[in-house]
Amino acid sequence: MTAPWWRDAVVYQVYPRSFADANGDGMGDLKGITSRLDHLEKLGVDAIWLSPFFTSPQNDGGYDVADYCDVDPRFGTLADFDEMLARAKERNIRVIIDLVPNHSSSAHPLFQKALAAAPGSPEREMYMFREGKGENGELPPNNWQSIFHGDAWTRVKEADGSDGQWYLHLFDTSQPDWNWENPKVREMFRGILRFWLDRGVAGMRIDVAHGMVKEEGLPDTEVNTKGLVALDSDKLPPYFDQDGVHEIYRDWRKIINEYPGDRVLVAECCAPRHRMPLYIRPDELHQAFNFSFLLARWDKTLLHDAIEKPMALSREVEGSNTWVLSNHDVIRHATRYGYAPDYKFGEGLSRDEPAPDRELGLRRARAVSLTMLSLPGSAYLYQGEELGLEEVADIPDELREDPAHKRGGVPGRDGCRVPMAWQHDAPAYGFSETGKSWLPQPASYGERAADKQVDVPGSTFEMYRAAIRLRRELKLGEQELTWIESGDEALAFRLGETAVVLNLSEQPLDLATLGLGGMRELLVSYPDEHAAGMLPANCAAWLTPAG
């Protein structure tokens, strides 16, 4: 039996508002995605993961869903979706969508009904309404804080105009949490899953997969969980990683198993490392994002552990590995690697921070990306990383849309969501014909636009393309990894006959010192001139036995 496709797939994340804009309103759309499928086919990816395109007020870039079974008019129609799916299929590109089950938008009709209904009514039971504390219920029910800063509770006005109950929103006020103790919520989501699976999607990425179920009694928390990615913490807040969440996934797994064609459920899950395998037990989800690689800085031990530890854990459940370096929630890695390894990042990058070393950032980012693309398991890429696009710090506050910025005053995540650069000399760098773009694109996006890189030897795009092709030919994603002794400033391992070396030092590395002197270069992450058998500084290479 051959392994299912997703175990070693390369999946490309499309953030619909920022990928390609076909109607010229400055916001990307589904037709835009269809028009750029050639790019993805050239790159050679197996699948696209589409961030939310559902009906939504867009208070959190679409992670605030008002109708789970329709397309937001800004992005197009269901017919546009079907068309995109069909065109992608012709190119053997599967499509995974984003399911947002922890919360809806406050504009969801069921939340509006809940607001209009009385406390204790079945309508209110769909969400997490509670009485407040204090003499007149004027204090929130507990001390939970929103991931986007501020209280996680908002008080409502009752029908008679009086101050009433509070509802829980782990994210923005406009993102009320569903009540997963209510069987009606469970039933509704079964229907949503089927709606999209019937339409032909290859699976779902599950947003906040560690949320949904909250500890009984909603006790106060001792732990603060600011920001989206938390790892290795032993103390968990009572609203994350509760055992009850696994029951939901067992239920969903049964549904997805009814469908042909190896559909996949992948968790966006921020649980302590040792709890991660629970999500990918054989009767639960297929994969969970492993964010440790994304968090690892330019450091031998950190990178080594970010590879080895999650691999050891997924082995326990015969699960597959996933690797991620960038996504729509974090500072792009071409920028992260342009800072010293001990630089303390906040939530997003502000224009007041020192600028990164751009050249070094790109070099190191390419080296880590090439290393990542060799690893056993599947790789999740974020749109634009194949061009070396950078985080944009220079965004005026009034244009920033991230709710974390609005609530917490942090720069937030807009800097990694700036629209794509397709053509260096076109309006909005080819993002939209009118030149409109919902966030301003910096001049550096012109330098790194796709048309300056596709079919250009030595470009970042061509490095990714060659790596994806070779990875498939050599079946790297299916190999067992064995480490090669390599000192403090290099990372080296074998995958079958192929050896992979990452030189973390500022000096060229003599491959003979790792016992790899006789090997031939297949791919190097940066196109410098260099002597045979030497790996330039801040570079990675894939090697094969000579002859």
Q: How far is the CB of 483 from ligand NOJ (least distance, A)?
A: 32
Cα atoms found within 13 Å of the Cα of residue 483, Cβ hemisphere only: 14
Q: How far is the CB of 171 from ligand NOJ (least distance, A)?
A: 5
Please report, for the chain, how many H helices and E strands are present, in that order. 14, 20
Distance CA 213, CA 55 (A): 25
Q: How far is the CB of 328 from ligand NOJ (least distance, A)?
A: 6
Q: How far is the CB of 464 from ligand NOJ (least distance, A)?
A: 23
Closest chain position to ligand NOJ (CB): 63
Q: Are 302 and 281 a contacting pair, CB within 8 Å?
A: no
Per the annotation, the verdict on 207 as an active-site residue is yes
Three-state helix/strand/coil letters over 28-71: CCHHHHHHCHHHHHHHCCCEEEECCCEECCCCCCCCCCCEEEEE
323: helix, strand or coil: strand
On the 0-12 / 13-18 / 19+ scale of CB atoms within 10 A, 467 is buried
Q: What angle do CA 19, 325, 304 make, to 5 degrees?
A: 170
Catalytic residue among 29, 151, 177, 268: 268
Tokens of 77: 């129609």
Distance CA 439, CA 417 (A): 8
Q: Partners of 145 in the beta sheet?
A: 151
Nearer to ligand NOJ, 63 or 461 (CB): 63
Q: Calculate the CA 132 to chain-centre distance.
A: 35
Furthest C-alpha separation in the chain: 84
Residue type, 251: D
Catalytic residue among 207, 241, 347, 386: 207
Residue 159 to residues 164, 300, 462, Cα–Cα distance (Å): 9, 60, 61
- Residues in contact with ligand NOJ by CB under 6 A are 60, 63, 100, 171, 207-208, 228, 268, 328-329
Q: Are 1 and 412 a contacting pair, CB within 8 Å?
A: no
222: helix, strand or coil: coil
Per the annotation, the verdict on 82 as an active-site residue is no
Q: Are 410 and 40 a contacting pair, CB within 8 Å?
A: no
Tokens of 242: 């509760």
114: helix, strand or coil: helix
Q: How far is the CB of 60 from ligand NOJ (least distance, A)?
A: 5
Residue 227 to residues 170, 195, 491, Cα–Cα distance (Å): 11, 32, 30
- Secondary structure element (H or E) that encloses residue 157, with its range: strand 153-157
Q: How far is the CB of 131 from ligand NOJ (least distance, A)?
A: 26
Nearer to ligand NOJ, 98 or 390 (CB): 98
Q: How far is the CB of 208 from ligand NOJ (least distance, A)?
A: 5
Distance CA 218, CA 114 (A): 20
Q: How far is the CB of 169 from ligand NOJ (least distance, A)?
A: 10
Q: Are 279 and 246 a contacting pair, CB within 8 Å?
A: yes
**Nearest Cα to 237, choosing from 323, 143, 317?**
143
Q: Are 111 and 169 a contacting pair, CB within 8 Å?
A: no
Q: How far is the CB of 50 from ligand NOJ (least distance, A)?
A: 13
Catalytic site positions: 207, 268
